Structure 1
Amino acid sequence: MMKGFLLSFQSEFYKSRKTLGFWGAIILPLLITGLAFVSVYSKSTDLAKLPPMGLWVQFSMISLGSMGSLLLPIYTIFVAYSVNSVEHKADTWKTLFSLPISRWAVYGAKYFYAFFLLFLCLALFALFNIAFGNLLSVVKPALKFNEYHMELQLIQVFYKLLLSALGILSIQFLLSLLWSDFLKPMGLGFVASVAGVILASNNWEYSYLFPYAHPMGALKSMLKQNQEPARSFEIDIYTKDVYVSLAVAVVVFIAGYFIVQKKSVK
């Protein structure tokens, strides 16, 4: 089974390496952190007054704010769709499941390739934030990024965002398998994401039970209210919204295999 899984995973890479889903994992973090770099650089005179930790928070919140709101859910939805769209467009599901590879290996490889793209995107966000932050201290010495090390905290933050998106990934992955067209899974996911942002941003007490609210909820749970930005980070990775996200991811992933196994062989 492991050999079949690895072959299927490799196949997913070759099929998607020229798609927007794959390159989005690289371009999206580079673009957003690049814009954050330009923004902070252009405001360096005012921002130079901040303490080093405040600079890091100000800089990283540009990426975190955009990802924790709509970008992370939307990218997750798009990745889940793009991994399966190749088979839908070419109508190769029957051929794929007729190969001498277990259906579990094929299904698992597709899912974990989608997870890999999501992981790659957020890992690059953390890497580019660290790299561009340190670069700012070189090109603008007045910005004393080099006097405070925030690498661990940034890795923890993006790791939590990754965990918070897994529930969305599993749900959208299943929907994109069941529906071949673009509009149904993407449209439903977009509406649910907007609803999730509204619920989480308005502090609805049960928003942690709604998977599409988890990225925004994860970000808000790391920020203290009514405090200065330089003192605002409070990183608690395994909060209740993350546990719900993980539970939803596992349950939907397993249930999805049995649902798709019956549908795909007809």
Structure 2
Amino acid sequence: MNTHPFLSAMRAEFLKLKRTLALWLIVIMPSVATLIVVLQFVRLYELPPEETIWYQAPPQVEVWRYLISEITSFWALLLLPLFIPLQAALINGVEHGANTWKQLFALPAARWTILGSKYFMLLLTVIAVFMVMVIEIILCGLLLIARIADFQSVVLMDAFPLDFLMMTFFSQIAASLFLIAIHGWLSIRLRSFTAAIGAGIAGTVLSYFFNQNPIGQYFPYSIPGLVTSYVTDSGIRYYAQPEVVPSVIVYSLIFGVVLTIIGIFSLARRDIL
């Protein structure tokens, strides 16, 4: 049975990815966010009860939500805008380094399947990170149950807010599509690894200025952070105004899909990258 050219291209991309740092970063970068938040969490519970944010909040579900929101917020605000450019540069750096674009485009497969597989592989690495984070959040929760007295009464499956976790992850993935479209194109178009990463760093720095500004709703590096929720003793809140969150997600989805299609077909028309 013949394999579809797109699936063959995806298989080839995965094999090439195994020879880079990309797979390691899927584990290392979210682990950094998780470790920092867990250490902060332990520190909070070492303070007197009146000095922690949980003295008015019930344990169990709210504590789990706080752990989830802190880890995902740290990831979306700081590391995700760096992760996407870095992964995009690694995925396409193999072709740039070996100068094999001409050979790839000489294959019988349509060019859009080759280029589309690279965009899709970038999306899969983002999804894989969130799968890693689900495992790490649960493991860290179990660790905190053993470490912190206030967690002793938590029943994992009864108290764990899976719906809140899935809503957070799906929102962040959707909010990342705009950024994936941009760096999917940039990393193919720019031969320089440094230039591709530099664009991501510059965008991440600018996002700090736009996060609390209305412009942030339209700035691709800020969007993942804006749809991220955080927990206070009065409930769940968002870094953006709640009424803005759905429109920001739709905006990222539309521009992400449209720019990806435009990017793939504009690159496919070029003779040599």
Instruction: Please indicate the TM-score interval, normalised by the length of the shorter structure.
Output: 0.7 to 0.9
Contact persistence 1:56–1:150 (CA under 8 A): yes
Matching of residue 130 in structure 1 with residue 165 in structure 2: no
Relative to structure 1, is the Cα distance of residues 87 and 238 closer, same or farther in structure 2, using a 3 angstrom cutoff? same
Equivalent runs, 1:1-266 vs 2, <5 Å: 3-41=4-42, 43-46=44-47, 51-52=58-59, 53-143=61-151, 144-146=153-155, 148-200=159-211, 202=212, 204-219=213-228, 222-223=229-230, 228-229=232-233, 231-233=235-237, 239-265=246-272
Relative to structure 1, is the Cα distance of residues 213 and 39 closer, same or farther in structure 2, using a 3 angstrom cutoff? closer
* CA deviation string 1:118-137 (max 9, x = no partner): 11012211231123213322
* CA deviation string 1:66-92 (max 9, x = no partner): 212121111011111111110000000
TM-score for both structures, normalised by structure 2: 0.84
Relative to structure 1, is the Cα distance of residues 134 and 180 closer, same or farther in structure 2, using a 3 angstrom cutoff? same
Relative to structure 1, is the Cα distance of residues 109 and 45 closer, same or farther in structure 2, using a 3 angstrom cutoff? same
SS of the counterpart of 1:212? coil
Contact persistence 1:123–1:158 (CA under 8 A): no
SS of the counterpart of 1:211? coil
**Structure 1, unaligned runs of 5 or more:** none
* CA deviation string 1:100-124 (max 9, x = no partner): 2111111111111111111101221
Rounded Cα–Cα distance in structure 1 between residues aligned with 2:142 and 2:271 = 50
**Structure 2, unaligned runs of 5 or more:** none
TM-score for both structures, normalised by structure 1: 0.86
How many residues are matched?
259
Contact persistence 2:178–2:252 (CA under 8 A): yes
Q: Which amino acid aligns with 2:131?
A: A
SS of the counterpart of 1:22? helix
Q: Which amino acid aligns with 2:216?
A: S
List, as ranges, runs of 4+ consecutive aligned residues in structure 1 with deviation greater than 6 Å.
234-238
Rounded Cα–Cα distance in structure 2 between residues aligned with 1:197 and 1:172 = 19
Rounded Cα–Cα distance in structure 1 between residues aligned with 2:96 and 2:244 = 37
Rounded Cα–Cα distance in structure 2 between residues aligned with 1:121 and 1:17 = 16
SS of the counterpart of 1:165? helix
SS of the counterpart of 1:18? coil
Higher helix share: 1
* CA deviation string 1:44-80 (max 9, x = no partner): 4446855223422332343123212121111011111
Rounded Cα–Cα distance in structure 1 between residues aligned with 2:32 and 2:19 = 18
SS of the counterpart of 1:99? coil
Rounded Cα–Cα distance in structure 2 between residues aligned with 1:136 and 1:209 = 38
Relative to structure 1, is the Cα distance of residues 135 and 112 closer, same or farther in structure 2, using a 3 angstrom cutoff? same
- Percent identity of paired positions between Structure 1 and Structure 2: 24
SS of the counterpart of 2:227? helix
Q: 1:164, CA displacement in angstroms?
A: 0.9
Contact persistence 1:56–1:145 (CA under 8 A): no
Relative to structure 1, is the Cα distance of residues 2 and 213 closer, same or farther in structure 2, using a 3 angstrom cutoff? farther
Cα RMSD, aligned residues only: 2.6
Q: Which amino acid aligns with 2:29?
A: L
